[in-house]
């Protein structure tokens, strides 16, 4: 799908990847709704002001908490009121919280609400309209952790696998009705989430993610996402080596698990 002339919604738009997606989609000629928590919306509003200077009435910021069904519904209502039918929805907001199985229950709930349930709540309000129109594009930001695993964070590994599973299910169920689905699965990206990853109580430590491979800039990721959407590819892998790791995993699960345990031991001792 070409983004020029399309109406696009990005959640988690005050952050690294989300903000870069907003800029890149707008540069492609889309109208953009940038959404984030009310506590962060000023950052998105500043970006929107700049975008509207370059092209009038082409972008709005909407505060919404996607960790609730109501937040997703009100975001979609506000976006449709601003620009009309939504063509592309980036379910990008995410949290990296929790480490072990003793992660507090409230953190487990937040991780599932933001990283998984937000995607299905958004889809619940988008898909009927898309099926009626015979088109619509759902782009889920999962993670390489959703295809492989996440050393050091059970909540992140579980919720990102669930996000990949939901994106697969959407594509299988509605692909023949015209719905396009992509699933973005990066490794390290230079954002506040990665930089905060070594804080106590945070999810995947920065050191683990940095050791896994090159850390990309959000703008590089956004460019790859736009190319993936143009090609209508399901898997968008800014780090292409993730496909090799996935093939190794599915080719010999036990060997892959042993390798992951070795990597974990190296991380703990290093």
Where along the sequence are the contacts to ligand NAD (CB under 6 A)?
11-12, 14-18, 36-37, 40, 65-67, 92-96, 114, 141, 143, 186, 188-189, 191-194, 209
CB of 78 to ligand NAD, least distance (A): 13
- State the virtual CA torsion across 98, 216, 167, 177 in degrees, nearest 10: 160
Nearer to ligand NAD, 74 or 177 (CB): 74
CB of 8 to ligand NAD, least distance (A): 16
Nearer to ligand NAD, 4 or 192 (CB): 192
Nearer to ligand NAD, 135 or 210 (CB): 210
CB of 217 to ligand NAD, least distance (A): 10
CB of 148 to ligand NAD, least distance (A): 11
Nearer to ligand NAD, 42 or 131 (CB): 42
């Amino acid at each position: 799908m070409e983004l020029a002339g399309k109406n696009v919604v990005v959640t988690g738009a005050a952050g690294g990847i989300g903000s870069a997606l907003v800029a890149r989609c707008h540069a492609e000629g889309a109208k953009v709704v940038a959404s984030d928590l009310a506590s962060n919306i000023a950052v998105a509003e500043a970006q929107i002001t700049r975008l509207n200077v370059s092209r009038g009435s082409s972008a709005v910021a909407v505060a919404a908490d996607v960790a609730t069904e109501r937040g997703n519904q009100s975001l979609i209502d506000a976006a449709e009121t601003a620009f009309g039918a939504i063509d592309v929805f980036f379910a990008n907001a995410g949290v990296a919280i929790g480490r072990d199985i003793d992660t507090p229950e409230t953190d487990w709930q937040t991780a599932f609400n933001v990283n998984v349930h937000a995607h299905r709540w958004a889809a619940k309000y988008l898909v009927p309209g898309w099926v009626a129109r015979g088109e619509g594009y759902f782009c889920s930001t999962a993670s390489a952790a959703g295809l492989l695993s996440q050393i050091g964070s059970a909540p992140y590994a579980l919720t990102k696998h669930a996000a990949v599973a939901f994106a697969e299910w959407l594509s299988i169920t509605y692909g023949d009705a015209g719905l396009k689905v992509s699933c973005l699965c990066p490794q390290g990206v230079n954002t506040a989430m990665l930089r905060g990853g070594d804080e106590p109580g945070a999810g995947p430590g920065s050191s683990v993610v940095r050791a896994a491979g090159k850390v990309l800039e959000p703008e590089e990721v956004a460019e790859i996402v736009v190319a993936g959407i143009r090609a209508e590819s399901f898997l968008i892998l800014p780090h292409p080596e993730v496909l090799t790791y996935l093939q190794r995993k599915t080719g010999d699960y036990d060997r892959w698990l042993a390798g992951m345990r070795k990597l974990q031991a190296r991380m703990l001792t290093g």
